[in-house]
Amino acid sequence: MLRSETLFGKRETNTPNSSLNTASGIVPTGTSGFTKTIAPAVAGGAGGTSTATHIETTSSSTNEGGSKLIVGPNIKLKGVEITDCDTLVVEGRVEATIDSRVIQIAERGAFKGSAEIDIAEIHGEFDGDLTVRQKLVIYSTGKVSGKVRYGKVVIEEGGQLAGDIQVGTTSAAKGLSVAKAG
């Protein structure tokens, strides 16, 4: 039987001047941030292999700030509504609805569903309804399809954008139609 120290590491003491040790996933009590890693590990026997996958959520004052959800490689997250997430990083597969500040889809990542985002950086695939309030960046390996609304767009050579595409977000379009109606 494995001891908990082997799986989770040793807990450091909380001193008044200690900083968050996010590398080990340890956050002193009394802080507003949290780090949580879910890592099912399969230990290999003779000739076996070890694998680990994870979903990680963090809240820190990094350059992106706020709360962050990382859907790691080989993870499939389906049928959810993601709320109160400032940054979503997709390295696996996600089928969801989200309203967030930033979405980053890795080269092997895929998102299917509905997203209202301030800034979108697409290296992988997005399929569905995408509203980008500020800036949509599609890199050379990126593919975006569906109903797409954006404030500004940057498409690197090789990047793909297909579907119902319009400049301007739905909230700006709604305000315009109300002004026309009045």
Q: What is the pLDDT of residues 121-132, one digit of tens each?
A: 999 999 999 999
Measured CA distances, 182 to 41, 72, 86 (Å): 61, 48, 36
| 177 and 106 share one domain | yes
pLDDT of residue 71: 96
Task: Say if residue 26 is in the same domain as residue 115.
Answer: no
Query: Is the same domain home to 66 and 49?
Result: no
Q: Across residues 80-94, what is the average pLDDT?
A: 94
Q: What is the per-residue pLDDT for 118? A: 96
Q: Where residue 66 falls among pLDDT bands split at 50, 70, 90?
A: confident
Same domain, 68 and 143: yes
Query: How many domains would you assign to the chain?
Result: 2
Instruction: State residue 2's pLDDT score.
Output: 47
Q: What mean pLDDT is predicted for residues 27-46?
A: 38
Domain with 12 in it: 1-53
State the chain's mean pLDDT as an integer: 73
pTM: predicted TM-score of the whole model, two decimal places: 0.61
